[in-house]
């Protein structure tokens, strides 16, 4: 287990959203406020860790012919627990995220890590992988949330900061581009964020190559 390497993969080289382009449905739909991004990121991280641990522990028991079905059942169990906990203790977040919490069951981020990592590695390494991938996913969501909320509403920290969770008003809402918190804004933001991320990765790689010469 190499924590530094796994963290680098989760945040950069194998970032679920910005590098692997997984979980696009929820990413585009809920990234309209910081509250939503942090809530979804935390939920996915918890489910990633728990499902990775259990799948890793059972990897030698689950027959390969039914492994995908078994993974989905395990993931669905943890998603149900998280969904019920949100409804009980954070009803506002549960209402805001809506159907996208149950849809975590089929989120490619979680199923992909179960198949690519947890099914082939030990429990501790799988738990660390779930944590690192979850952090990377959360960071990507937060970046998109901040951009879309700021440009679309003129606020920062919606659902968390400001009076009644309305967010801190950075500039008047009259000057905001409402389209940024609509579906088209999600696609535009995603495109620019991914492009900027890939440009940054290539720049870092080129510097490393130049330094090694």
What is the structure's pLDDT at 213?
Answer: 63
Over residues 28-56, the pLDDT tens digits come to 999 999 999 999 999 999 999 999 999 99
What's the predicted TM-score (pTM) here? 0.93
Q: What is the pLDDT of residues 137-177, one digit of tens each?
A: 999 999 999 999 999 999 999 888 888 888 899 989 888 99
Judge whether 210 lies within some domain. Answer: no
Q: What is the pLDDT of residue 75?
A: 96
Owning domain of residue 110: 3-204
Assess contact for 22 and 16: CB atoms under 8 A.
yes
pLDDT greater than 90 at residue 208: no
Tell me whether residue 211 is in a domain. no
41 found inside a domain: yes
Per-residue pLDDT tens digits for 99-108: 999 999 988 8
The reply to whether 63 falls in a domain is yes
Per-residue confidence (pLDDT) for residue 2, from 0 to 100 = 82
Q: Please indicate, yes or no, if residue 209 is contained in any of the structural domains.
A: no
SS (H, E, C) the chain: CCHHHHHHHHHHHCCCCCCCCCCHHHHHHHCCCHHHHHHHHHHHHHHHHHHHHHHHHCCCCCCHHHHHHHHHHHHHHHHHHHHHHHHHHCHHHHHHHHHHCHHHHHCHHHHHHHHHHHCCCCHHHHHHHHHHHHHHHHHHHHHHHHHHHHHHHCEECCCCCCHHHCCEECCCHHHCCHHHHCHHHHHHHHHHHHHHHHHHHHHHHHHHHHHHC
71 within some domain: yes
What pairs with residue 156 in β-bridges?
168
Question: Are 126 and 118 a contacting pair, CB within 8 Å?
Answer: yes
The structural domain count of the chain equals 1
pLDDT, residue 1, reads 72
- When comparing pLDDT for 210 and 59, which is higher? 59
């Amino acid at each position: 287990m190499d924590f530094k390497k796994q963290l680098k993969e989760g945040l950069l080289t194998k970032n679920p959203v910005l590098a692997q382009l997984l979980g696009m449905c929820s990413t585009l739909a809920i990234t309209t406020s910081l509250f939503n991004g942090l809530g979804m990121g935390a939920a996915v991280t918890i489910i990633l860790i728990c499902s990775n641990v259990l799948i890793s522990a059972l990897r030698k028991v689950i027959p390969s012919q039914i492994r995908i079905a078994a993974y989905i059942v395990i993931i669905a169990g943890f998603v149900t627990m998280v969904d019920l906990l949100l409804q009980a203790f954070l009803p506002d977040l549960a209402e805001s995220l809506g159907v996208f919490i149950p849809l975590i069951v089929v989120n490619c981020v979680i199923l992909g890590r179960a198949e690519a990592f947890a099914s082939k590695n030990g429990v501790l390494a799988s738990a660390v992988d779930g944590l690192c991938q979850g952090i990377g996913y959360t960071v990507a969501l937060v970046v998109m949330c901040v951009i879309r909320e700021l440009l679309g509403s003129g606020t920062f920290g919606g659902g968390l900061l400001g009076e009644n969770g309305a967010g801190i008003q950075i500039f008047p809402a009259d000057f905001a581009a409402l389209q940024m918190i609509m579906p088209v804004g999600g696609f535009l933001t995603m495109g620019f964020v991914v492009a900027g991320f890939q440009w940054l990765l290539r720049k870092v790689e080129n510097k490393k190559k130049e330094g090694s010469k």
